Chain A
Amino acid sequence: MTEPLIFEKSRSGRRAFAQAPRETVDTSIPSEFLRDDVPLMPEVSEMQVVRHYTRLSQQNFSIDTQFYPLGSCTMKYNPRACNAVAMLPGFAGRHPLGPVSHGQGFLSCMYDLQEMLKAVTGMMGVSLTPMAGAQGEFAGVAMIRAYHTARGDHERTEIIVPDAAHGTNPATAVMCGCTVRELPTAADGDIDVDALQAIVGPNTAGIMLTNPSTLGVFERRIMEVAEIVHAAGGLLYYDGANLNAILGKVRPGDMGFDVIHMNLHKTFSTPHGGGGPGSGAIGVGERLLPFMPVPIVGKTGEGDDAWYDWLTEKDLPQTIGQLSAFMGNSGVLLRAYVYMRMVGKEGMRRIAEFATLNANYIQARLRAAGFELAYPERRATHEFIVTLKKEAKTLDLTAMDVAKALLDYGYHAPTTYFPLLVPECLLIEPTETETQDILDRFCDAMIAIIESARSGESRHKEAPFSLPVRRLDDVKAARNLDLAYKVPAE
């Protein structure tokens, strides 16, 4: 069932009166500043609004309703308590510019969160302000640049990025005024260390790595990579997209990384919210401490004498600056804090262990059923890649077809066509919060889809069939742009 637009339910003169304040007649705003047209918003009752958006919500897949094996996205369960805490009146109602005397509760949570993230990553400083992973990346590369510039090392403008990297890595490097050097991957899925040796040099600002990589394998020669880059005068950036895989087992700081961003909306289970808000806190080693984005929460005194306050550019004169109007996505940070407190020290390790167990289990079952793995000799980390390059040729079954056919089974599609270097790939990440029987049913669905194609069936070319819409015409969407509703002429 498609749902009409809210505008199509509007009747002139009908309003949700209870929701608006009483009419005010007085206005001292001169007419030259006032608009004479009425913006297009619906005139609908409260019940119509509730029904409309409830129905729309039902047209979504979500973690609360479906298994979401979306590689590199860590779609784990979002505990309800985290939201309840963030919505407590004392937190939700706090003005960002309110005095610290009316913010000790909030600030103490932020300080504790900084400390816990330092512990988990093995870094020396944490700033919570970046509002998403991509902004965390921006902060990281900007700090690397600021570090070199402060040393008078102005020629270091090249950022090395593996060919398997997330698209935000090269886009970020360019936003920071750097140029991108692409690094090839070796046949075993590790980065090509010889190629790295050949491209580092006096222009190297740093390297951006994800470990485990986006190929779903652990970068085994990471210590060697760190040595090569450091010896050449560059710094190492850790993209935290896959931190869930090593939580409590390995710390990026111990691997030699100088800076890391974490996706709190992945590893620490804050909601994805249909595409945000994210939260991309960063951690740094000693060399980058002076350059962290502000504000940061500082603490003096202990116990009953503890006092929390903002650290600003006065305290960090070399900071790369402020990246949001206030303090990043504070409400998301509170949710992450609550999650970490409920999981605790031992729970962190278990996250990595059971996320890895679940991924290896699906990998083993799919391998046994004849699916081709991109890196069959390697352990899966918390995710792994299946490639359908053979099936695409012999059965006309593409990664896209499998993705869409899975939707009809009630499973969200894995990540498709990423990383770009594996043809017809599905990147599968189950997370630790799924039960074995869901994993089994997902594997059964994957097997049923490939079996159906092997039997000569071609229904998968047109899937999905059971969703509110079928495959959409993306070409038409881009060619005949329709980005906003217009009231039809009478």
Chain B
Amino acid sequence: MPFIPHTDDDVRDMLKTIGADSISDLFDEIPGELLIDELVGVPDALSEMEVMRLMRARAEKDGAPLCFIGAGAYEHHIPTAVWDIATRGEFYSSYTPYQAEASQGTLQVIYEYQTMITSLTGLDASNASLYDGASALAEASLMAVRANRKSKSKRILLASGVNATYQKVAAAIAGAQGLVFDRLPLSIENGTTELAALGDAGEAPVAVVIQQPSFFGTLEQMDAITNWAHEQGALVIAIVNPTSLAVLKSPRQWGDAGADIACGEGQPLGVPLSSGGPYFGFLSCKQKFVRQMPGRIVGRTTDLDGKMGYTLTLQAREQHIRRSKATSNICTNQGLMVTAATIYMSLLGAKGLARVAQASHAKTVSLVSALTSIDGVDALFSGAYFHEAAIRLSKPVGPVLQQLSAQNILGGYDLSAHYPELANALLVCATETKTDADIETYADALRQILASQD
């Protein structure tokens, strides 16, 4: 009986104390017609050895391809200590820290995490995390509607480089409360938001969202868009890559007044790719909006003896207190991922993180240079990028990617499948994990595929 410790004697003794004849008697309040005899469709139990054998075989099937896909999830080296410590049972198997005295470890980790996130974004406050980057945009948008009391609009205007999937997710989550998401046009030349279109952007939005680096890897004119948004009476929501913030301007430094809310995907900070989750979304804001933040927040306080300690705070915003009037229905954060990210940032420090950012940028520059030296490959956009860039192939992208994957190379993200205006466009990414030899392997394979006659 896996994971159930009872002996037959235990059961007899316990039933006697209860005053029941059998375990089935304990279910006598359930209408008999509802009880089933057998669970059809669930296989018999496997031993741990059998399950490991099965799962190793399945994991090996997926292999370890050479991956040049980014598009919102990034392969970085994760120091061994990160998950060694994060999966200690005391972190792994503890509950949400409602009982503060019994959860000081988790609470202090979150306080340290909040400190690191606010220093990366340059803003004043951070929550304890949300589910992922996409749902963080949904929550940030709902938060902006609550925070921007001067605006009556529920229109959220997205810069052209906001991840299209994030827009879909935000609309699915926040649409029921009347929020509408519109998008500014893309400059096909620069791969950034067409600034000339700002004058003609329609009804003044409640918030403007700028993703930096953009989904295309390019760097948006964040100062100009931020100032324009504030002139419209809109709040500015920044979607940022936390690794990039080690070198790029923090949202606080955008334009004259800075972004008001910053959010994004925390996965690059020590979380494995793992088919898309669990990751974590981060959310940070200026002090004046802190009471509109969704999710858990940890604060530092003192105990009965005046000793420093940590506790969940501002709980009056949350569903377990406010019920139907809560800022969000969110209950958990992504505690374990936040623990890993905090350990990751501590190991690297600001300088180490800047090295990861610079090395990723430099590798992508090498990659783009190697790929665009091939006949039939051009850079799609002019202008600066971080660690991801769009290229245009002389052939349709889909079949090329298939041929690459047959050689165990994942060549990038097919932009043309999602942006019809970007024909034959491929988004490629390299991080510090790619060697010059990896880049050469990719370039050689692509050269051959493009040169072949099919």
- A35, A326, A432, A472: the one contacting B247 at CB < 8 Å is A35
Q: A275-B96, A469-B101 are in contact. Are A15 and B352 (CB under 8 A)?
A: yes
Q: How far is the CA of A52 from the CA of B249 in the complex (A)?
A: 30
Interface residues of B in 52-96 (CB under 8 A from A): 52, 54-65, 67, 69, 71-73, 75, 77, 79, 81, 83-85, 87-96
- Stretch among A93-101, A229-237, A452-460 lining the B interface: A93-101
- B-side interface residues, number (CB < 8 Å): 197
- A23, A89, A96, A471: the one contacting B303 at CB < 8 Å is A471
User: How near does chain B come to A217, taking the closest CB pair, in angstroms?
Assistant: 7
Chain A 418-462: CB-based contact to B (< 8 A → 1; otherwise 0): 100000000000001111100000000000000000000000001
Q: How far is the CA of A52 from the CA of B432 in the complex (A)?
A: 27
- B40, B69, B332, B353: the one contacting A277 at CB < 8 Å is B332
Establish whether residues A360 and B20, one from each chain, have CB atoms under 8 Å apart when the complex forms.
yes
Q: A329-B278, A365-B17, A470-B305 are in contact. Are A90 and B60 (CB under 8 A)?
A: yes
- B109, B169, B332, B413: the one contacting A324 at CB < 8 Å is B169
Nearest neighbor of B249 in chain A, beta-carbon distance: A35
B201 surroundings in chain A (CB, below 8 A): none
Q: A26-B362, A132-B331, A328-B277 are in contact. Are A483 and B299 (CB under 8 A)?
A: yes
Establish whether residues A272 and B1, one from each chain, have CB atoms under 8 Å apart when the complex forms.
no
Q: How far is the CA of A363 from the CA of B18 in the complex (A)?
A: 8
B120 surroundings in chain A (CB, below 8 A): 39
Interface residues of A in 124-176 (CB under 8 A from B): 131-135, 137-138, 142, 145, 166-168, 170-176
B108 within 8 A of A: yes
Q: A137-B329, A255-B34 are in contact. Are A341 and B45 (CB under 8 A)?
A: yes
- B26, B95, B310: the one contacting A274 at CB < 8 Å is B95
A105 surroundings in chain B (CB, below 8 A): 57-62
Q: How far is the CA of A363 from the CA of B17 in the complex (A)?
A: 10
Establish whether residues B81 and A46, one from each chain, have CB atoms under 8 Å apart when the complex forms.
yes
Nearest neighbor of A35 in chain B, beta-carbon distance: B249
- B2, B108, B114: the one contacting A484 at CB < 8 Å is B114
Establish whether residues A347 and B356, one from each chain, have CB atoms under 8 Å apart when the complex forms.
no
Q: How far is the CA of A21 from the CA of B358 in the complex (A)?
A: 9
A321 surroundings in chain B (CB, below 8 A): 168-169, 171-172
Interface residues of A in 40-89 (CB under 8 A from B): 40-44, 46, 49-50, 52-54, 56-66, 68, 70, 73, 75-79, 81, 83-89
Nearest neighbor of A351 in chain B, beta-carbon distance: B4
A137 surroundings in chain B (CB, below 8 A): 329
Chain A 327-357: CB-based contact to B (< 8 A → 1; otherwise 0): 1111110000010111111111111011011
Establish whether residues A250 and B34, one from each chain, have CB atoms under 8 Å apart when the complex forms.
yes
A20 surroundings in chain B (CB, below 8 A): 348, 351-353, 355-356
Establish whether residues B410 and A95, one from each chain, have CB atoms under 8 Å apart when the complex forms.
yes
B372 within 8 A of A: no
A2 surroundings in chain B (CB, below 8 A): 104, 307-309
Q: How far is the CA of A212 from the CA of B29 in the complex (A)?
A: 11
Nearest neighbor of B42 in chain A, beta-carbon distance: A345
A376 within 8 A of B: no
Q: How far is the CA of A472 from the CA of B309 in the complex (A)?
A: 7
A195 within 8 A of B: no
Establish whether residues A481 and B331, one from each chain, have CB atoms under 8 Å apart when the complex forms.
no
User: How near does chain A come to B280, taking the closest CB pair, in angstroms?
Assistant: 8
- A42, A60, A330: the one contacting B91 at CB < 8 Å is A60
A62 surroundings in chain B (CB, below 8 A): 89-94
Q: How far is the CA of A23 from the CA of B133 in the complex (A)?
A: 29
A326 surroundings in chain B (CB, below 8 A): 72-73, 132, 275-277
A477 within 8 A of B: yes
User: How near does chain B come to A227, taking the closest CB pair, in angstroms?
Assistant: 13
Establish whether residues A478 and B313, one from each chain, have CB atoms under 8 Å apart when the complex forms.
yes
A37 surroundings in chain B (CB, below 8 A): 122, 250
A73 surroundings in chain B (CB, below 8 A): 95
User: How near does chain A come to B430, taking the closest CB pair, in angstroms?
Assistant: 12
Q: A21-B432, A105-B60, A220-B29 are in contact. Are A119 and B102 (CB under 8 A)?
A: no
- A5, A170, A344, A467: the one contacting B102 at CB < 8 Å is A467
B103 within 8 A of A: yes
Establish whether residues A167 and B326, one from each chain, have CB atoms under 8 Å apart when the complex forms.
yes
Q: How far is the CA of A38 from the CA of B353 in the complex (A)?
A: 11
Give the interface centre of B6, B23, B276 by most chain A CB atoms within 10 Å.
B276
User: How near does chain A come to B81, taking the closest CB pair, in angstroms?
Assistant: 5
A385 within 8 A of B: no
A393 within 8 A of B: no
Nearest neighbor of B271 in chain A, beta-carbon distance: A331
- Stretch among B152-160, B317-325, B436-444 lining the A interface: B317-325
A28 within 8 A of B: yes
Q: How far is the CA of A81 from the CA of B71 in the complex (A)?
A: 31
Chain A 219-254: CB-based contact to B (< 8 A → 1; otherwise 0): 010110000000000000000000000101111001
Establish whether residues A33 and B133, one from each chain, have CB atoms under 8 Å apart when the complex forms.
no
A-B complex: 8 closest residue pairs judged by Cβ atoms = A326-B276, A344-B45, A64-B89, A119-B41, A273-B336, A90-B59, A321-B172, A96-B276
Q: Provide a sorted-by-A list of 17 A–B residue pairs whose CB atoms are within 8 angstroms.
A: A16-B347, A53-B343, A59-B104, A62-B93, A95-B67, A95-B75, A99-B401, A104-B62, A271-B93, A277-B335, A278-B331, A322-B168, A327-B276, A331-B275, A476-B301, A481-B125, A484-B126
Query: Besides A39-B350, A96-B277, A171-B323, 14 other CB < 8 A contacts?
Result: A18-B79, A19-B347, A20-B355, A29-B386, A118-B41, A120-B39, A120-B42, A170-B323, A325-B276, A329-B278, A343-B2, A345-B45, A354-B4, A435-B6
